[in-house]
Amino acid sequence: MKVLVPIKRVIDYNVKARVKADNSDVDLANVKMAMNPFCEIAIEEAIRLKEAGTATEVIAVTIGAKAAQEQLRTALALGADKAIHIETDEKLESLHIAKLLAKLVEQEAPELVILGKQSIDSDNNQTGQMLAALTKRGQGTFASKVDINANTVNVTREVDGGLQTVALKLPAIVTTDLRLNEPRYASLPNIMKAKRKPLDVIAADSLGVDLTPRVQLMKVEEPAKRSGGIIVEDVAQLVEKLKTEAKVI
Amino acid sequence: MKTLVIAEHDNGALKPETSKTINAASKLGFDIDVLIAGLNIGAMSEQVAGIEGVTTVLTADNALYQHQLAENMAELVLAIADNYTHIVASATTTGKNFMPRVAALLDVAQVSEIIEVIDSDTFKRPIYAGNAIATVKSLDSKKVITVRASSFDLQNQQSPASINALDTLSDTQLSDFVSVEQTESERPELTAAEVVISGGRGMQNGENFALLNGIADKLGAAIGASRAAVDAGFVPNDMQVGQTGKIVAPNLYIAVGISGAIQHLAGMKDSKVIVAINKDPDAPIFQVADYGLVADLFEVLPQLENAL
């Protein structure tokens, strides 16, 4: 089976995002960028399916500016067979991304699409579900286990209060949660090899998708700061403060 | 202009997120209908009817909706969406699952996890793991919105609204329920608890989380964990408090052996009172804690249990 893995270039998860002085957005100038951690888990899962003989081809795709090709090369170094860059300098929303991916799903006809459940910049948690809706496929979101059978895939999902397993008809869409797997690191020989793997570029506006903004970003602010409190001496003082000052116990 | 709220429940009990989401929806300023979908939901429907601000409760009581699978839930909401300008659900794992599907089928954007309603088009929501707060304006004629319930209050009660059964049924046959493994716990749920005590990497292993049990028993607290503790395999992911886990805002939050990574703070910094216990005086958790105790957790946890 062919597996498509959409990935996103985001701020490195170790870097603290800072708001621009004019409150127009988060400042990403000269900030270290990386593959979204949930997308790394998605790539890893696809590669494991290939190693197990279940997947025949793993295609990584990203949508964004030219710089995002860096993350596609990472995906290739990790083991993806080929990469597709849908190029645009516009700041797109989840619905736009899902529509562009739906076009690609039409062309490539993957039996499984694995995406990260959310990106750590916009924190929307939408794209996989929207892609499933647009391609009329079943969705297994927040996956901690993926089991492929003949015509179905069983997905164990991390839900509030426990784990839920659903069986989806193939083709299907899966989004990854943290415990699905532990992503590998790319080895130096594989990084070198990745430079020769195919990377196709498609202009986003050639796919016939209306990319008009649906949501306007009005303002971005720092969150309200909590003022630090006091350091207590011992447990007795802590309990006393909680009882008489904070009155929470 | 009319709002549809989709009720949050676990097919046995109505979740407090429902009332809080109705509170958020009431700030939009329009009449509110609530859709509740599940199996044998009669008692829960009556509870919803008694929440202040609800005009009509719409029920879809059928085995098709027993597990609220996204594919069929989305079709159900879509079938009645024409009557509403705003469609709102809580940002639980259920709401997060089906709402973007609804939005895509309606060809509109979704505004995820709002923490404040500015007006009926404009909302505040956290981005970058809560390191920034975005004010966003939806330009679509129909709004699909999920709500971070912990940012809103519970609604008062009212004399019951009317309850209407929907006869819409549609089975996409795209997915089937296989099984569910509920985490067995006598304790309150993390997102509903008045007190939460969480352990981090400093707990050293999963067995040591038992040290939190006695304190949790005495305080009626839920037990949580940092992502570091989950990643290290100490405890399951459904205990995770943080941007990628559960967002909590209890009256009292006790962080034990948690350094205070950005992603953890994003999940608990709206708690009313925060206590941090950590042996590293420079741990960032102390910058948000109202009361900090610099100490070895293995020494002070038994003391704390005895002192309560």
For residue A11, which residues of chain B lie inside 8 Å, CB to CB?
A: 128
Is the alpha carbon torsion for A131, A135, A136, A140 positive or negative?
negative
Interface test with B, best of A103, A170, A242 (most B CBs within 10 A): A242
Distance CA(B223)–CA(B190), nearest Å, equals 7
B71, B137, B178 member nearest A218 (Cβ) = B137
A123, A134, A166 member nearest B175 (Cβ) = A166
In whole numbers, what is the pLDDT of chain B averaged over residues?
A: 95
Q: Splitting chain A (249 residues) into consecutive groups of 10 residues, what average pLDDT does each group show?
A: 98 91 96 97 98 98 98 98 97 97 98 97 97 98 96 95 94 94 95 97 97 97 86 96 93
B74, B126, B230 member nearest A133 (Cβ) = B74
Q: How far apart are the first and last CA of chain B?
A: 51
Interface test with A, best of B101, B140, B280 (most A CBs within 10 A): B101
Name the residue of chain A whose CA is nearest to B127's CA: A122
Distance to chain A for B166, nearest Cα, Å: 23
For residue A216, which residues of chain B lie inside 8 Å, CB to CB?
A: 136-137, 139
For the record, the structure tokens of B151 come out as 């940012």
DSSP letters spanning B254-295: EEES----HHHHHHHTT-SEEEEEES-TT-GGGGT-SEEEES
CB pairs under 8 A between A and B: 264
Inter-chain contact B109–A236, Cβ cutoff 8 Å? no
For residue A132, which residues of chain B lie inside 8 Å, CB to CB?
A: 70-71, 101
Task: From residue B199, give the alpha-carbon distance in Å to each of A6, A79, B178, B205, B244.
Answer: 34, 36, 32, 10, 16
Inter-chain contact B230–A179, Cβ cutoff 8 Å? yes
Task: From residue B48, give the alpha-carbon distance in Å to each of B72, B122, B146, B282.
Answer: 22, 26, 18, 47
- pLDDT value at position B24? 98
Inter-chain contact A161–B103, Cβ cutoff 8 Å? no
A16, A121, A235 member nearest B127 (Cβ) = A121
User: Does any CB of chain A come closer than 8 Å to the CB of residue B87?
Assistant: no
Tell me the residues of chain B between 230 and 259 that have a Cβ less than 8 Å away from chain A.
Answer: 230-231, 237-238, 240, 243-244, 246, 251-252
Report whether pLDDT(B168) > 90. no
Inter-chain contact A248–B107, Cβ cutoff 8 Å? no
For the record, the structure tokens of B181 come out as 């493994």
Are A139 and A129 a contacting pair, CB within 8 Å?
Answer: yes
Are B48 and B36 a contacting pair, CB within 8 Å?
Answer: yes
Distance to chain A for B159, nearest Cα, Å: 31
- Mean pLDDT over B8-28 rounds to 96
3-state secondary structure chain A: CEEEEEECEEECCCCCCCECCCCCCECCCCCCEEECHHHHHHHHHHHHHHHCCCCCEEEEEEEECHHHHHHHHHHHHHCCCEEEEEECCCCCCHHHHHHHHHHHHHHHCCCEEEEECCCCCCCCCCHHHHHHHHCCCEEEEEEEEEEECCCEEEEEEEECCEEEEEEEECCEEEEECHHHCCCCCCCHHHHHHHCCCCEEEEEHHHCCCCCCCCEEEEEEECCCCCCCCEEECCHHHHHHHHHHCCCCC
Q: Bridge-partner residues for B144, per DSSP?
A: B87, B110
Q: Is B97 helix (H, G, I), strand (E, B) or coil?
A: helix
B110 C-beta neighbours (distance < 10 Å), count? 30
Tell me the residues of chain A between 139 and 168 that have a Cβ less than 8 Å away from chain B.
Answer: 139-142, 144, 154, 157-168
Is the alpha carbon torsion for B11, B12, B16, B22 positive or negative?
positive
Identify the CA nearest to B137 among candidates B152, B151, B117, B159. Answer: B117
DSSP B151: G
Tell me the residues of chain A between 198 and 217 that have a Cβ less than 8 Å away from chain B.
Answer: 213-217
- pLDDT value at position A16? 86
B177, B289, B308 member nearest A228 (Cβ) = B289
Report whether pLDDT(B185) > 80. no
Report whether pLDDT(B15) > 80. yes
- pLDDT value at position A177? 92
Report whether pLDDT(B17) > 90. yes
- pLDDT value at position B43? 97
Identify the CA nearest to B41 among candidates B63, B23, B16. Answer: B63
B102, B112, B274 member nearest A125 (Cβ) = B112
- pLDDT value at position B192? 83
pLDDT digits (tens, 9 = 90+) for B135-165: 999 999 999 999 999 899 999 999 999 999 9
Are B73 and B62 a contacting pair, CB within 8 Å?
Answer: no
Q: Bridge-partner residues for B33, per DSSP?
A: B4, B56
B94, B105, B132 member nearest A17 (Cβ) = B132
Inter-chain contact A126–B112, Cβ cutoff 8 Å? yes
Long-range contacts of A192-198 (CB under 8 A, 24+ apart): A193/A77, A194/A73, A194/A74, A194/A76, A194/A77, A195/A73, A197/A76, A197/A80, A197/A81, A197/A82, A197/A83, A198/A82, A198/A83
Q: pTM to 2 decimals?
A: 0.92
Q: Which ipTM value was assigned to this complex?
A: 0.94
Choose between A16 and B304: higher pLDDT: B304
- Mean pLDDT over B222-248 rounds to 91
- Mean pLDDT over B47-67 rounds to 97
- pLDDT value at position B191? 85
pLDDT digits (tens, 9 = 90+) for B64-117: 999 999 999 999 999 999 999 999 999 999 999 999 999 999 999 999 999 999
B101, B291, B294 member nearest A130 (Cβ) = B101
- pLDDT value at position A172? 98
Distance to chain B for A183, nearest Cα, Å: 12
